[in-house]
Structure formats: C-alpha cells, structure tokens
Amino acid sequence: MCLSTVYAGSAPDPETMILEYVTHIDVNGPQIRLYDITGEMKEIPGTIHSVDLINNIVLIEPI
C-alpha cells in the first residue's frame, strides 16, 4: 500500500506538513480534499505543486 505525506509549499518540511498517511486526493477546482488511512478528510484551497511517487511526497501550493 502506498501512503503519502502532504506538505504545503515547494519543499517537504515537517513544519508545513498537512496530513500523513494519505490514501486519496480529490481536486475540485481550487479545492483539494485529502483523505488519510483512518478516513479523516482535510480540505484546503490550493494547487498541486508536485507529486513524488517514489518517496510518497505531495506538495501543495496554498492559495
């Protein structure tokens, strides 16, 4: 199972972590919904900056 950690900004930084163990991401216009393994959902306005599938890191640029 591949689980990702999502960070705000253009580089992974523990201080900007939004959510760990993310299993699913939905994008609806400027809104991004993140779901973790426990079913917790966080919705943030932003755009996806990058997705690193090898290291399981997603970077979101908040708006």
Mean pLDDT of 57-62: 97
pLDDT value of residue 54: 95
The secondary structure element, H or E, covering residue 50 is: strand 41-52
Question: How many domains does the chain contain in total?
Answer: 1
Report the alpha-carbon distance of residue 55 to residue 31 in Å, rounded: 24
pTM greater than 0.85 (yes/no): yes
- Torsion angle, CA of 29/35/40/41, rounded to 10 degrees? 0
pLDDT in tens, 2-52: 899 999 999 999 999 999 999 999 999 999 999 999 999 999 999 999 999
Statement: residue 1 has pLDDT above 80? no
The range of the structural domain enclosing residue 55 comes to 4-62
pLDDT value of residue 2: 85
